[in-house]
């Protein structure tokens, strides 16, 4: 199986990265091919709403998204991991998602779904926020659902941990790492 993961956090070794690493452990141990995209270090320009993809499903901007488009097309499993910033996904994650408008055009205008392989296509959303209230989870989950469905992932699990603010706080959470490992195990099946 091919698994790709997007880390939307700009903080190296931060809570999102720790959680994502934990979720990926059982997948890597099972021998699946894993590619992690650290979005903060990539050249991903925001969507320009130029309409260039409307008739072709192909984005005309040439940057790091070219390899992301290819990876999404081939993926059996997709993990999206992001901190909550201003009640939503990080700008790094959102920029990548907006560029998937090319897939939206392909799917909904050109009526071509990304075909699923023999393992089907599944997703996992990992969210970490400093606040305990769930507004950030709800807003982020709406955007993430639109992303997953657009890239032809019909089902995805969500893990959200609130009250996690200082770098490394996630390590003190009583169940987060275990839940992430279990979600990774399930995703790899
Ligand atoms: C610009 C910015 C905006 C934030 N906005 C929110 C927010 O709206 N809700 C929330 O729960 N946490 C918010 N936080 C806190 C982060 O979600 C929290 O620190 C998280 O653990 C960061 O994850 P990371 O270590 O993976 O980067 C914000 C942090 C930053 C830097």
| pLDDT at site 30 | 95
Whether 88 is in the pocket of ligand 1, judged by its Cβ within 6 Å, is no
| pLDDT at site 137 | 98
CA of 176 relative to ligand 1 center, distance in Å = 17
Candidate of 85, 134, 170 to mutate for ligand 1, largest count of ligand atoms within 8 Å of Cβ? 85
Name, in order, each residue with C-beta under 8 angstroms of 124's C-beta and a sequence gap of 6 or more: 23, 77, 78, 79, 80, 156, 157, 158, 159, 183, 184, 187
Give the separation between CA 100 and CA 57, rounded to whole angstroms.
Answer: 9
CA of 17 relative to ligand 1 center, distance in Å = 13
pTM: 0.98
| pLDDT at site 107 | 96
| pLDDT at site 82 | 98
Residues lower than pLDDT 50 in the chain: none
| pLDDT at site 27 | 97
| pLDDT at site 80 | 99
| pLDDT at site 126 | 98
């Amino acid at each position: 199986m091919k698994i790709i993961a997007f880390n939307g956090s700009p903080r190296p070794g931060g809570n999102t990265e720790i959680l994502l690493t934990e979720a990926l452990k059982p997948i890597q141990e099972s021998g699946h091919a894993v590619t992690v995209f650290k979005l903060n270090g990539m050249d991903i320009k925001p969507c320009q709403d130029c309409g260039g993809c409307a008739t072709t499903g192909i984005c005309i901007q040439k940057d790091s998204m070219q390899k992301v488009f290819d990876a999404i097309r081939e993926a059996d499993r997709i993990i999206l991991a992001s901190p909550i910033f201003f009640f939503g996904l990080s700008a790094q994650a959102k920029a990548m998602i907006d560029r998937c408008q090319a897939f939206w055009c392909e799917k909904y205008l050109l009526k071509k779904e990304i075909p699923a392989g023999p393992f089907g296509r599944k997703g996992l959303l990992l969210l970490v926020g400093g606040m305990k209230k769930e507004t950030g989870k709800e807003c982020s989950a709406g955007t993430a659902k639109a992303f997953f469905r657009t890239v032809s992932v019909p089902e995805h699990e969500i893990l959200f941990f609130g009250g996690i603010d200082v770098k490394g706080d996630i390590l003190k959470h009583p169940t987060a790492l275990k839940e992430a490992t279990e979600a990774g195990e399930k995703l790899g099946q």
